[in-house]
A = this chain, B = another copy of it.
Amino acid sequence: MSVTIQLTPQAELSAAIPIVLDKTRQPQYGRYLDELEPGQVFEHPRGFTFTTSNMLYFARTFMQANPLYLNSQYAHAHGFADLLASPQMVFNVTLSLGVQNDSEKALANLGYYQVQFLRPVYPGDTLRAFTRVLERKDRGPDKPGIVRIRTVGVNQNDGVVVQYERKIMVARRGTRPPTTPAPQVCVPFPGEDTPLVQLPLTGHPVSVGLTGPNTYVEDFAPGDIIVHANGRTITEEHMALTYLVGNSHPLHFDRLFSSAQSGKMSGEPIVYGGLVFAWLEGLASRDVSEHAVWELGFTEGYHTQPAFAGDTVGALSRILAVEDVPGMDAYGLVSMQLLGVKNISAAAALEKYGADLFIKEDGKRDLGKDKITAKIFEIERRLLIKRRPR
């Protein structure tokens, strides 16, 4: 079926249409605390098509060292159908898909929990995402509330690629206009309760030259602390990168909006945390994840301080556990902490703060310790990493 339109010259209409100011509206997006109900489900707008090039662009911009995300030939040699999208990209895109429904009115992102990666994302895949509201904690009329949500990203075949929970801080609507309701959701809320990841790995391809010699499972032991040498100065690039992954929160790219915020949130646009996480993960990658064949996921992720254009971020990792995987001789499971600092090198931060750097910021008050304001991020990750080939 076809639609045919004859294009005629376009008449200038504006002067003939009376300007009536009472027909004004200003659509609002995001969701206020009182517009969120446990059990509510949202389907997120637009979707996101992945291509080889946008996957490479993300992986390289965010300093990825694992060739699975950089080198199509390497990915094929491992048994994958094609180049893999980095988990950072899959996570960032999925979270960003949800911003217009979930968090465009949020004051802060309070944590990432139980992020799980279930299926590879390949060039040509298109992701959609859904969110279910789990809990809403109203803390009274003078304080913003806390909402816990579950978000699931699916591909064009309705296969779940990523699922996670997030806590956000959201204020009540008060006298402000309501937000645009999300369209009614006609499909069951997706997700897998007992997710099984199946990877088409074909064993160790013999291409040791493309990675380093010191990042196999045998090179990690619980307690190891790895200081990542290079830092990354974030520039105003972050504003465009925010929309490139699909995040529509104006705090990140609208200086009028960011400077109109109250209190200590007021000022320059804040770098979207997902980008900060991606840069930190990239800075760490050539020391810890070159030989990862799968990122199982992460949890307890906190952006403990904001970052701005002009800040230089650095990263450290601490190995928490190294485990065998039954039936899988060629791989081991490595759990690790990833931390980010700003405006101090990772080495200098370790020197200055010592062991306290690795203590969760949230737990410091109970321990009678000061928070470390140079620390910007902490999270725990689990990766499936190759054993050293024999």
Give the docked Cα–Cα distance between A129 and B22 (Å).
Answer: 44
Point out the residues of chain B lying under 8 angstroms from A142, CB to CB: none
Asked whether A110 is an interface residue with its Cβ less than 8 Å from the other chain, the reply is no
Set of chain B residues within 8 Å of A65, measured between Cβ atoms:
45-46
* Stretch among A2-10, A132-140, A145-153 lining the B interface: A2-10
The answer to whether the Cβ of A128 comes within 8 Å of any Cβ in the partner chain is yes
Given A27-B226, A51-B53; A335-B211 close (CB under 8 Å) = no
Query: Per a CB cutoff under 8 Å, which of B24, B49, B200, B223 touches A83?
Result: B49
Partner of A347, one of B26, B63, B211: B26
Question: Which residues of A (159-187) have their CB < 8 Å from a CB of B?
Answer: 180-187
Q: State the Cβ distance, A343 to closest chain B Cβ, in Å.
A: 7
Mask of A215-236 contacts with B, CB within 8 angstroms, 1/0: 0000001111111111111011
> Does chain B have a CB within 8 A of A344?
yes
Q: Which of B156, B250, B286 contacts A230 (CB 8 A)?
A: B250
Q: Are B24 and A225 in contact (CB under 8 A)?
A: yes
Q: Which of B45, B180, B363 contacts A15 (CB 8 A)?
A: B363
Contacting residues, chain B, for A237 (C-beta < 8 A)? 235-237, 239-240
Q: What CA separation (Å) do A238 and B244 show in the bound complex?
A: 15
Q: A229 contacts which of B73, B250, B325 (Cβ < 8 Å)?
A: B250
| Contact, CB under 8 Å: B212 / A180 | yes
Range, interface on chain A = 35 or more
Taking the complex as formed, is A266 at the interface, i.e. its CB lies under 8 A from any CB of chain B?
no
With A210-B47, A223-B20, A320-B13 as contacts: A240 and B61 at CB distance below 8 Å = yes
Whether A373 sits at the interface, judged by CB under 8 Å, is no
Say whether A265 faces chain B, with CB atoms less than 8 Å apart: no
Contact present for B201 and A380 (CB under 8 Å) = no
Kindly list chain B residues whose C-beta atoms are within 8 Å of the C-beta of A363.
15
Whether A9 lies near B358 (C-beta < 8 A) is: no
Determine which of B48, B60, B180, B382 lies in contact with A246 in the assembled complex, contact meaning CB atoms within 8 Å.
Answer: B60
Indicate whether A108 reaches chain B with its CB closer than 8 angstroms.
no
A-B contact sample (12 more), CB < 8 A, given A53-B53, A54-B56, A61-B240 = A3-B331, A14-B318, A23-B224, A48-B71, A51-B53, A57-B244, A74-B126, A128-B209, A183-B212, A233-B269, A235-B240, A236-B237
Chain A to chain B: the 4 pairs with minimum beta-carbon distance, closest first? A43-B209, A53-B53, A235-B236, A19-B355
Can you report 5 A-B residue pairs in the complex whose CB atoms are below 8 A from each other? A10-B299, A15-B360, A17-B318, A46-B65, A254-B312
